[in-house]
Chain A
Amino acid sequence: MSLPELLKVPKIDKLGVIERTNRFCKRSIKNSAKEMGLHLALSMIDLTTLDGKDTPQKVKQLCYKAQHLHDSMEGLPNVAAVCVYPTLVSVAKKELVGSGINIASVSTAFPSGQSTLHVKLSDTKFAVDQGADEVDMVISRGKFLSGEYNFVFDEISAVKEVCGNAHLKVILETGELDTLDNVRKASDIAIYAGADFIKTSTGKISPAATMPVTYVMLLAIKEYYKKTGTKIGMKPAGGISTAKQSLQYLVMLKETLGDDWMNKDLFRFGASRLVNDILMQLQKQESGIYQSLDYFSKD
């Protein structure tokens, strides 16, 4: 592992990117394509609760929802993972035994990452020891913006080492990176430093995931795959709350990275509100009419 040649990182033209992502949104996804797309989207969701006021009970509720999205509908998949703070990993672990649903834990002084490497590593170690299958770390945006790319790179590789078998998702917090050129550069640093997934946002900063940002990250993944044959996963997080948006992201994924990436092992949505909107749309596909949101549990 070594730092990518940052001078050779491809330039990004923002207007061109926006034009391209607008094109994805023009695809018309109907009937069985819509049904399957929405099922796929459900299966890729990391159901998330990351509040200071989170309680074990709330996490338990979330874990139950993860396994019972809407019992009155048959054939629904489970979500991919439940994402919580390290201290609540053990609660989730107990609830999700045997469900096949992963437990993701944020770490490295989430969401700001403003702490020492020592704290970040022990934060990560704690999460993994508690049973996290996946670790969502944040990069040091301050260091990145001041050009200390080696620092950012080293930090990611150090965290990766502590993760052991747990999958590492690296959050770039693109809302703080300012330009798409930076997004691309940070993506390359994260990928080369050992990320299994790259992730847009913490959800604590606005804007969170957008299509242009996600597209740029997908292009970084694509180029890395062409060079090395290794498939890196992608997780847009925050800001994706409607079924329609989730389909637009899937179109973008399909047309940028292809069918290989169309599964929860390589693509995730970091979202919570999205679930009920998808359920509502699926219900509508089935019955032809929209149901009140009151019929869908809000856990």
Chain B
Amino acid sequence: MSKIDINKSWEYDEAPESTSHVNLRSKYNLFIDGEFVKPLSKKYFKTINPATNESISEIAEANDRDIDLAVKSARKAFKSWSKLDPKERGKYIFRIARMIQERAKEFAVIESLDGGKPIRESRDIDIPLAANHFFYYAGWADKLEYAFPNKIPKPLGVAGQIIPWNFPLLMAAWKIAPAIACGNTVVLKPAETTSLTALKLAELIQDSGLPKGVVNIVTGAGKTGAAIVNHPDVNKIAFTGSTEVGKLIERSLAGIEKKTTLELGGKGANIIFEDAAIDQAVEGIINAIFFNQGHVCCAGSRLFVQESVANIVIEKLKDRMSTLIVGDPLDKNTDIGAINSVEQLKKIEKYIEIGKKEGGEIYQAKCSFSKKGNWFPPTLFLNVSQSHTIVKEEIFGPVLAIQTFRTIDEVIEKANNTPFGLSAGVWTEKGSKIFKLTKELNAGVVWANTYNKFDPSSPFGGFKESGMGREGGLHGLKSYLKFE
């Protein structure tokens, strides 16, 4: 054994997760009617590892005609799938859930490779939650009439689903599980920067023996998504993504009989009262804004701290930020991984410039990054106000805007003073205060003394420009049913 000097400072060694078990093809085709088929577009695009900006694989780009094939396959499958004994439907979905658990490690590694999120999060949050969504909705498949008493629930038909790049597999699970549990069939498009886990899910679905055409997974960028939205034989559009695209979708669907759920952007208010458990609240702030590099629609990106504890909270926050490990997403000790894409990194950098120009006081944790890849340090903005751009607009990165407040009414007014209404957090030891805020905050989710907690049984969705409709829980079923 080499001589060990215990007086030196103790540093963690690298602890990279192995990628040897991962099975990736060099080229991925479209998953239509239970088979991987070459795109009629004949076009492919590269999917990039954001930690190195090297290509991982090539992904097919679906055009209008490919989408038409996918929708036709879903329509054909709908005839039998919707009439299948619901408990049989449930069995298929349970099987998918179990298979995700069996392949969890591979999914987790690919999610981190393709999207840049730390392996700790994909391993402990994304993948288990994705499996849980399938488990949860599998259970509902044969109990829909109990879920909605005195009504006869019927599936809608073909659901077109478009998901974002921040939680690729989890969002696919959120969309697919309730849709097929209710007897619909789906055409799902993952985001162009993070298609791989959805395609691995397609392989899994193929292996599970799910009837052909019930789930079709097509890849591509905005144009492909538009083709799904505008396809005349799609009965329902479920979209999660930016408010900008959400508005486009709503415009193109105006006056057309397509049920729509939109889960869009946010600018969550995280409110710390002086009577909160401060150290745990600081932990909550960290989790609210730096979880998944801040690529979270419900991120607590606006922090409101009560005046009397502001200094201590900010001091503790800076202190805690110094222990965050930013770097290789595949290292098991990484807390904050890579920014998902070059475009997103540029967007964050643009907002930082605006923030500085508008007079915000910036604080960044000291980090050293590898030369390759997209990185951004955890960042705070102090001395900002409601009218600063970085307080108003969604940045979708590890950037927190901090304001102080004096009274409860003031903070409620400020928290609600935003076009968004997706999420909020309240930190206080006083129960009555929590109830007052949950009632008066205009947000789809309000967490009390915690943040960014998700569960399949709990509905999720926004008010105002954060979207419409709910996913998760009983509410999530409703979005995929009509009642006679």
**CB within 8 Å of B: which residues of A?**
10-13, 15-17, 19-20, 26-37, 39-40, 43, 73-75, 77, 219, 250, 254-255, 259, 262-263, 282, 285-286
Q: Which residue of B lies closest to A27 (CB)?
A: B333
Q: Which residues of B contact A19 (CB under 8 A)?
A: 280, 283, 450
**A10-B279, A12-B280, A20-B283 are contacts. A33–B11 as well, Cβ < 8 Å?**
yes
Could you name 28 residue pairs across A and B whose Cβ atoms are closer than 8 Å? Answer: A10-B277, A11-B275, A11-B276, A12-B279, A15-B280, A15-B449, A15-B450, A16-B277, A16-B279, A17-B280, A26-B120, A27-B12, A28-B332, A28-B333, A29-B13, A30-B15, A36-B4, A36-B6, A36-B8, A39-B6, A73-B1, A75-B1, A77-B6, A219-B279, A259-B10, A263-B7, A282-B1, A286-B1
Most buried by B among A28, A31, A250, A255: A28
Chain B neighbourhood of A32, CB < 8 A: 13
Contacts of A43 in B (CB 8 A): 6
CB-CB contacts of B1-25 with A at 8 A, as 1s and 0s? 1011011111111110000000000
State the total of A-B contacts with C-beta under 8 angstroms. Answer: 88
Task: Name A20's closest neighbour in chain B (CB-CB).
Answer: B283
Once bound together, how far apart are the Cα atoms of A13 and B9, in whole Å? 31
Docked Cα-Cα span, A26 to B325, in Å, equals 13
7 smallest CB-CB distances across A and B, nearest first, come from: A16-B280, A28-B15, A13-B277, A28-B332, A33-B13, A13-B280, A11-B277
In the complex, B323 has a CB within 8 A of chain A: yes
Q: What separation, in Å, do the CA atoms of A192 and B287 have in the docked complex?
A: 33
Nearest A residue (CB) for B277:
A13
Chain A contacts for B145, CB-based, 8 A: none
Within 8 A of A (CB), among B301-356: 323, 332-333
Identify B9's interface contact among A16, A26, A73, A259, CB under 8 A: A259
Would you call B124 an interface residue if the criterion is a C-beta within 8 Å of the partner chain's C-beta atoms? Answer: yes
B429 at the interface (CB under 8 A from A): yes
A74–B3 alpha-carbon span in the complex (Å): 8
The reply on B284 being an interface residue by CB < 8 A is yes
Of the four ranges (under 10, 10 to 19, 20 to 34, 35 or more), the interface on chain B belongs to 20 to 34
Taking CB atoms, residues of chain B closer than 8 Å to A259 are 9-10
In the assembled complex, B226 has its CB within 8 A of some CB on chain A: no
Q: In the assembled complex, which residues on chain A have CB atoms less than 8 Å from the CB atom of B429?
A: 11, 13
Contact A36 B10 (CB under 8 A): yes
Q: Cβ of A13: which chain B residues have Cβ within 8 Å of it?
A: 276-277, 280-281, 429, 449
Is residue B365 within 8 Å, beta carbon to beta carbon, of the partner chain? no
Interface centre among B120, B278, B280 (most CB of A within 10 A): B280
Tell me, rounded to whole Å, the shortest Cβ–Cβ distance linking A101 to chain B.
15
Identify which of residues 77-128 in chain B touch chain A, using a CB-to-CB cut-off of 8 Å: 120, 124
Cα distance A88–B15 in the bound complex, in angstroms: 46
B9 — which chain A residues lie within 8 A by C-beta?
259, 262
Give the distance in Å from the alpha carbon of A239 to the alpha carbon of B450 in the complex.
29
Which residue of chain B has the shortest Cβ distance to A226 in the bound complex?
B315
Query: A35: which of B4, B15, B124 is its contact (CB, 8 Å)?
Result: B4
Known: A16-B283, A19-B280, A40-B6. 19 other contacts (CB 8 A): A10-B278, A11-B277, A11-B278, A16-B279, A16-B449, A19-B450, A20-B283, A27-B332, A28-B12, A29-B12, A29-B15, A30-B13, A30-B14, A33-B12, A36-B8, A39-B6, A73-B1, A262-B10, A285-B1
B 205-230 to A, binary, CB cutoff 8 A, 1 in contact else 0: 00000000000000000000000000
Which residues of A are found within 8 Å of B332, using beta-carbon distances? 26-28
Residue of A16, A31, A282 most packed against chain B (CB within 10 A): A16
A-contacting residues, B14-46, CB 8 Å? 14-15
Tell me, in angstroms, the Cα distance from A262 to B5 when the chains sit together.
12
How far apart are the CA atoms of A263 and B10 in the complex, in Å? 10
Cβ–Cβ < 8 Å partners of A77 in chain B: 6
Q: Collect the chain A residues with CB atoms within 8 Å of residue B12's CB.
A: 27-29, 33
- Distance, CA A37 to CA B14, complexed state (A): 14
Among A11, A17, A282, A285, chain B packs the most CB atoms within 10 A around the CB of A11
Report which of B7, B10, B323, B450 forms a contact with A16, defined as CB distance below 8 A. Answer: B450
